Amino acid sequence: MSGRKPPRLGLGLSALLGEAAADTELTPRSLSVTALEPGPFQPRGPISQPELADLAVSIRAHGVLQPILVRPKPGNPGQFQIIGGERRWRAAQLAQLHDVPVIVRDLDDRTAMAAALVENLQRQDLNAVEEAQGYQRLIGEFGLTQEALGQSVGKSRSHVANMLRLLGLPVAVRDMLADGRISAGHARALLTAPEPARLAALVVAKGLNVRQAEALANQAPRPEHIERGRDTDAEAVVRDLTTRLGIKVELRRAGRGGRLTLHYGDLDQLEGLLRLLMPD
């Protein structure tokens, strides 16, 4: 149909990468499931079997309604790497389909990574940690502002900023957030609290709601490592850096000087931080 709108993925990639992302054919074609394989840029974690089983039931009844985004596998003619839609591909195999609809794009590694992240972020089926890590990778790889990134994935700048702040939490808290034991609201309440991992464990153990978690964080005793009379300024700096960098930041004063500490949770997070601090 000539009036059909292009997929949101095409719009997001165009906003992110410019015209280079929109110069390929969007008409689906059919490929054998055996010609496809998972790509190297999947931002989601492991896919659960119950999730796949439910999707397979739907695919068995209605088919694969949304094409899978793939690219030719470098150095291997006839094989294709999945950029977006690995769940649909795996569920189609469970449903015993022989062929699936695909959109083929000839993308380099950098653009394929962006496409995989944008596709997953727009589908809104990532957990909060995966979403935040996706934003961080796009910012680090492409040097985007939070405003530009938000436009490319259909989110507000404040939403992107709030999600990036979650990466400043300790790994234990991020694990609780990723597996659903606490919500993003709980996690944000603990961001500036001392001992957030201990408080998060209390939130889970007592089944506290977000408002109760906020009260718990506000009641927690705080270390006296910042000069009296300048707490507000220092806390504002910490909040701003945490939002801009998406990591945990600590500021300690010592006389006229002090120490600024940036915490990273894994090598991907460190790599993104280095790209921001030392751009080419």
Q: Cβ(246)–Cβ(164) under 8 Å?
A: yes
pLDDT of residue 256: 65
Taking only the tens place, the pLDDT of each residue in 67-86 is 998 999 988 889 999 988 88
Domains, the chain, in order of start with CATH, read 8-126 (3.90.1530.30), 169-222 (1.10.10.2830)
Taking only the tens place, the pLDDT of each residue in 97-141 is 999 999 998 888 777 877 777 777 766 567 888 888 888 877 877
Give the β-pairing of 80-84 and 248-254: unpaired
Walk along the chain (280 residues) and give the pLDDT tens digit of each residue.
434 433 344 445 554 544 444 444 567 899 999 999 988 876 656 666 787 888 899 999 998 988 998 999 988 889 999 988 888 999 999 999 999 999 998 888 777 877 777 777 766 567 888 888 888 877 877 777 888 888 777 788 888 888 888 988 888 999 999 889 999 999 999 988 888 999 999 999 999 999 999 999 888 776 554 444 455 567 777 777 776 677 778 877 766 677 888 887 777 677 777 777 765 5
Task: Show which residues are catalytic.
Answer: 86
In this prediction the pTM is: 0.59
CA distance 147 to 132: 15
CA distance 112 to 17: 11
Work out the burial of residue 201: count CB atoms within 10 Å of its CB; fewer than 13 is exposed, 13-18 middle, 19 or more buried: middle
Q: Cβ(53)–Cβ(127) under 8 Å?
A: no
